[in-house]
Structure formats: C-alpha cells, structure tokens
Amino acid sequence: MWPASVDVRSTCHQGPRPRERTIWRSPIPVTPETRWYTGGVSLFIDRLDAIAQKNKSLVCVGLDPWRPSMPIADIAAFNKAIIEATHDLVCAYKPNSGFYEAEGFDGLRALEATIAAVPDGIPVILDAKRGDIGSTAEAYAKAAFEVWGADAVTVNPYMGGDTLEPFLAYEDRGVFVLTRTSNPGARDFEELVLDGQPLYERVTERVREMNTHRNAGLVVGATAPEELARVRAIAPEMPILIPGIGTQGGALESSIRNGADARGLRAIVNASRSVIYASKGADYAEAARTAATKLRDDINVVRSEMGFAWS
C-alpha cells in the first residue's frame, strides 16, 4: 500500500509553516503518501476520547467572535481568556472560520493566535464547512490541517463523496461532515426524502462507507433529536458534533441520550454564545467558566442517568 519511494523533504519543507502545537500529532501530516514515515501517530478520535476522559467532559466551546456581543475588542485576547478559563472543562474548541475571515487579515491573525493558544491535547475543530472537488478540495484540506493546524474540520457533502476524500486522506485529522444541521433551513434539502430515504441519512451512510481511516465524524443539530437518533443508529462509532443547544433552543438531554455512543461518548455538544457571551462585563471569562461548568455537569447528570461513569 505504501509507495516505494517518497521524497520526504518535499512533504516536510514545502508550503506554509505548520502549526507549532505538536503533542499527540505527527510532525508532518499523515497522508497516504507519508504514513510510512509517521507510524504510530495517534488518530483524532483517540485524542478526542482521551481528553474527554481526562476532563470528564463532552463540551466543545465554540470560539465565535461576533463583534456586537464581545466585551473587549481584541479577538485573540478575548479567545485566550476564554480558553484559559475553560480548558479543563472541554473536550474540544471550535472556532468558526467565517467570523475570522470577515475581519480580513487581522481576523486571520487572530485565528492563528487563537489556535496557538489552545493547550496541547485539546483538539481544535475548525468549523469551515468547506466543500470542493479534486485539487481544490486538496487545497482546502491543506489550508485547514497544514496552514491553520486544525485537528479536525467541518465539511459540506453536497457535491458528493469525491469532495470528502482529500480531507479524509489526512489520517490523523478528523473530518466532520454536515449531516442534519440545526437551522430551520435544514428542512429545505437535508430532510427531503429521496428514493425513499431522507438525504441526511444517505449522507450518513455514504460517510460511514468512506470511513476507512476511522477519522470521519458527523454534524447533527441538537434541534433535531429524532434525526440524531437515526444518525447514531446508522453510525454507531462515529463522533457526532452537536451544535444548537442553548441559544438555538436544542435540548441537551436528548442530545446526549440520542447522540452518545454505546460507551456514552462521542456526542460532542457545542456551545458558543451561551458560554463565551455569558457575561458582557469584565467578568466574561469567569462567567464563561461558570457556564461551561454547568453545561459539563448537566451533561454528566444525563450520562449518569444512562449508567455511564467517567473512568
């Protein structure tokens, strides 16, 4: 399966500088061409499980700098304060690329600083919802994993399976595929019944077929508890990123009951505004810690009722 000869130098030294966080991660990206060189590197799913166990948490905090809600103007400083206040309470951070891109180069520098501020061992899920074909999809995967150094990225499946492959080729990174999202518009196309099956179920099946490296995940909104249960039934082992609790009105209990796997894991509950904007005052970091603690504990109550304890 491995190529007989690979020019490692071109893989190591070309292109933009890789992200500096390296713990639990190969120093070079694990692609089909380089995996012979990086044997033994951990998978995203293993890193995710490990930090969830360590922090006893299924909470992902969304780092979404939206100016009208921000208590201070400096995005990087704001995010760093949030990360510092919550890093022992989460299993992942999820910056949404759109908010940073909207600020131009300054915003992208803040994204870089934000990712660098996440402690080693906590995965960064870059919420970018990319989707393109062939060499362009390779370019987006390179941007997410090599330029920004994300541990995982969200992608859009509309254009088909071949648009997901270049992302999944990075075996040590995670790829969360939009499945049944939390917005009202999810009913427009995702829920259409096509050839007897809702589109989001078809997407789930296709992603599961493609998950040969154990690095695929799914995105299902907390606002769709029944659909979440169906997705979990189709994909028993895959991590599911669950946005939409709190501000968007999704229910926490059903998110865990319907989204967790057989060990009570891999339902990653994302909260953005309800945590990072818990206070608009000078106590915003402290308030974020309080909100994240409550969310973690509320989740763990549900897990306990389901019979799951942290080891």
Residue (of 124, 117, 38, 33) closest to 75 by Cα position: 117
Contact 179, 156 (CB under 8 A): no
Per-position DSSP letters for 122-159, written without gaps between them: S-BEEEEEE---HHHHHHHHHIIIIIS--SEEEE--TT
Identified catalytic residue from 54, 56, 129, 280:
129
| Under rule CB under 8 A, residue 115 binds a copy of itself | no
Which residues does residue 94 pair with via DSSP β-bridges, in sequence order?
Answer: 62
Contact 310, 266 (CB under 8 A): no
| Under rule CB under 8 A, residue 190 binds a copy of itself | yes
| Under rule CB under 8 A, residue 163 binds a copy of itself | yes
Interaction pattern, residues 93-112, with a copy of itself; x per rule: CB under 8 A: ---x-xx-xxxxxxxxx---
Which residues does residue 124 pair with via DSSP β-bridges, in sequence order?
Answer: 93
| Under rule CB under 8 A, residue 6 binds a copy of itself | no
| Under rule CB under 8 A, residue 187 binds a copy of itself | yes
**Which residue, 152 or 302, is less far from a copy of itself as judged by CB?**
152
| Under rule CB under 8 A, residue 249 binds a copy of itself | no
What is the residue whose two structure tokens read 């600020």?
A: 103
Within the chain, strands assigned E span 59-63, 92-95, 125-130, 152-155, 174-180, 193-194, 197-198, 216-220, 240-242, 267-271
- CA gyration radius for the chain? 19
At closest approach, how far in Å is the CB of 162 from a copy of itself? 4
For this structure, is 129 an active site residue?
Answer: yes
Site size toward a copy of itself, by CB under 8 A = 60
In one letter, which amino acid is 68?
Answer: P
Region from 29-37, 126-134, 256-264, 299-307 binding a copy of itself, contact rule CB under 8 A: 126-134
| Under rule CB under 8 A, residue 64 binds a copy of itself | yes
At closest approach, how far in Å is the CB of 3 from a copy of itself? 17
**Which residue, 29 or 264, is less far from a copy of itself as judged by CB?**
29
Return the active site residues: 129
Residues that bind a copy of itself (CB under 8 A): 15-17, 64, 66, 96, 98-99, 101-109, 129-140, 142-143, 146-147, 156-163, 178, 181-190, 192-195, 199, 202-203, 206
